[in-house]
């Protein structure tokens, strides 16, 4: 969490130090203007959440499994439902904190933009704030589910990163695209859905789709990503509840 708090504004500050960016990207200062800064900081936060929150989700359950503290909590008198509620409430609290910090960083970093903003900086931005919250929560819960399935913290962490970096990519671009070359369904894989909640704020998505010579948009729009992420979140939480209620702790 300390790394997240330190890196979110620091990475944005590094970009601000560049005078120019390669085309088709605009000037670095333009990313700090309202409302584009909401998307820009959300994109940075998405990458940090992928690395840090996913790992933390794995860790907070794997370390309990390794040390038998989940079992000890039940022995000490907590019900399994209380154990589930405590873990999910902890994850929910962390997601709210990270979202609030994201908003704070947006307000601070916007001072480095080229165009002053008049009016309320929150007006009309409620949806992207909610998307950022769902993005953070999704990484936490997905990591938690992996850690619950694979009790070893080392193996669970490796599986989490392997899935996001390699397994899902192979499934989408090698397997799925080969069998369904004209189907946009390849965009609805779990981690891609979360990534598209806060995409890079430029025309890079269109460039990527055109470079692959696809007949469809490779990326989900915010509404599609939000609905799909909500469905996956329900599936993750259902899996977590089922495992804790049914499995020998």
pLDDT digits (tens, 9 = 90+) for 191-249: 999 999 998 876 555 555 554 555 666 788 889 999 999 999 999 999 999 998 887 76
The residue ranking higher by pLDDT, 73 or 228, is 228
The whole-model pTM stands at 0.89
Extents of the domains making up the chain:
30-246
Mean per-residue pLDDT, 114-128 = 69
Could you count the other beta carbons within 10 Å of the beta carbon of residue 95? 22
Question: Long-range contacts: 114-117, Cβ < 8 Å, 24+?
Answer: 114/27, 114/29, 114/30, 114/32, 114/33, 115/33, 115/34, 117/33, 117/34
Instruction: Please report the pLDDT score of residue 225 as a whole number.
Output: 93
CA distance 193 to 186: 10
What's the per-residue H, E or C state across 4-61? HHHHHHHHHHHHHCCCCCCCCCCCHHHHHCCCHHHHHHHHHHHHHHHHHHHHHHHHHH
List the one residue out of 245, 249, 171, 185 whose CA is nearest residue 214: 185
| pLDDT at residue 206, as a whole number | 54
d(CA 147, CA 88): 14
* pLDDT band, very low/low/confident/very high, at 32 (cuts 50, 70, 90): confident
DSSP label of 184: G
pLDDT attached to residue 43: 93
Higher pLDDT, residue 244 or 92? 92
Instruction: Please report, rounded to a whole number, the percentage of residues in the chain having pLDDT higher than 90.
Output: 45
Burial status of residue 80 (CB atoms within 10 A of its CB: 0-12, 13-18, 19 or more): middle
Q: How is residue 192 written in tokens?
A: 């891609």
Q: Which of 45-49, 113-117, 157-161, 195-199 has the lowest mean pLDDT?
A: 113-117
State the CB neighbour count (10 A cutoff) for residue 242. 10
Enter the DSSP assignment of 98. H
């Amino acid at each position: 969490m300390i790394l997240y708090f330190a890196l979110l504004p620091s990475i944005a500050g590094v970009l601000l130090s560049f005078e120019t960016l390669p085309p088709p990207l605009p000037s670095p200062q333009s990313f700090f203007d309202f409302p584009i800064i909401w998307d820009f900081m959300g994109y940075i936060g998405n990458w940090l959440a992928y690395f840090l929150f996913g790992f933390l989700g794995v860790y907070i359950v794997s370390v309990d499994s390794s040390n038998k503290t989940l079992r000890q909590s039940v022995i000490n008198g907590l019900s399994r439902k209380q154990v589930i509620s405590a873990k999910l409430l902890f994850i929910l609290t962390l997601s709210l904190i990270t979202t609030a910090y994201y908003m704070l960083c947006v307000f601070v970093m916007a001072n480095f933009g080229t165009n002053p903003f008049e009016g309320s900086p929150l007006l009309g931005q409620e949806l992207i704030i909610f998307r950022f919250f769902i993005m953070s929560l999704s990484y936490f819960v997905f990591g938690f589910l992996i850690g619950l399935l694979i009790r070893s913290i080392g193996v669970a962490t490796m599986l989490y990163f392997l899935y996001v970096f390699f397994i899902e990519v192979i499934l989408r671009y090698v397997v799925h695209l080969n069998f369904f070359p004209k189907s946009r369904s390849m965009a609805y894989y779990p981690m891609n859905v979360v990534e598209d909640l806060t995409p890079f704020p430029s025309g890079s998505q269109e460039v990527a789709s055109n470079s692959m010579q696809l007949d469809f948009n490779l990326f989900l729009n915010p509404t599609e990503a939000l609905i799909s992420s909500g469905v996956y979140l329900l599936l993750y939480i259902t899996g977590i509840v089922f495992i804790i209620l049914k499995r020998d702790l």
